[in-house]
Amino acid sequence: MAARASVVLVALALCAAGGPAPAETRALACEPTSLTPDSTSLRLTLPDPHGRELGVSTEHGFFYLAWDERAGIEGATPRIQGFREARELTLDPRTLEGWHFHATDHGWRPIFTEPGRYTFVTADVLQTDAPPADAIPPSRCVVEYRK
């Protein structure tokens, strides 16, 4: 019992001293977690801090939604401006498009086209096996799309 009380006191002291925040503020959150073709809003609550990039992984590939404008991803311009400072994004799933990387067919593509699982992810560097040591790690949330 004394050990449990010590852990609680240490956690409270860290929060009061500006230490680590509760896990809920450090994870990407998607709301709602289930969408249909009639859905008009998807809210992403971003962790603080969050990475420089935002993407979504689907059965049809990986799509970038936002990135550091200086990254120069295939000459594309991100459509979500000011992402680095954002704490929350409200997106329309009916019109949401992402930059699809494909060897012969890259470009902007609609995201929600088929039923399935859509995993949103933010990190400093997405789609790499060797992120920098000081990079903000990935944070994910999942949305199910049903027709």
3-state secondary structure the chain: CHHHHHHHHHHHHHHHCCCCCCHHHHCCEEECCEECCCCCCEEEECCCCCCCEEEEEECCEEEEEECCHHHCHHHCCCCCCCHHHCCEEEECCCCCEEEECCCCCCEEEECCCCCEEEEEEEECCCCCCCCCCCCCCCEEEEEEECC
> Does residue 35 fall inside a structural domain?
yes
Question: CA neighbours within 13 Å on the CB side: how many for 105?
Answer: 4
Query: Would residue 44 count as lying in a domain?
Result: yes
93 — phi, psi (to 5°)? -65, -20
As a residue count, the chain comes to 147
Residue 86 burial (CB < 10 Å; 0-12/13-18/19+)? middle
> Is 104 within a domain?
yes
Judge whether 30 lies within some domain: yes
Per-residue pLDDT 10s for the chain (147 aa) are 444 433 333 333 334 444 444 444 579 999 999 999 999 999 999 999 999 899 999 988 899 998 876 666 666 778 888 888 899 999 999 999 999 877 677 889 999 999 999 999 999 888 777 888 888 889 999 999 999
CATH of the domain at 91: 2.60.40
User: What is the total count of domains within the chain?
Assistant: 1
Supply 115's token pair.
Answer: 């039923």
Residue 86 maps to a domain: yes
- Residue 5: inside a domain: no
Containing domain of residue 101, as a range? Answer: 24-145
In a domain, 132, yes or no: yes
Task: Note the pTM of the prediction, 2 decimals.
Answer: 0.78
| In-domain check, residue 8 | no
CA distance 140 to 129: 17
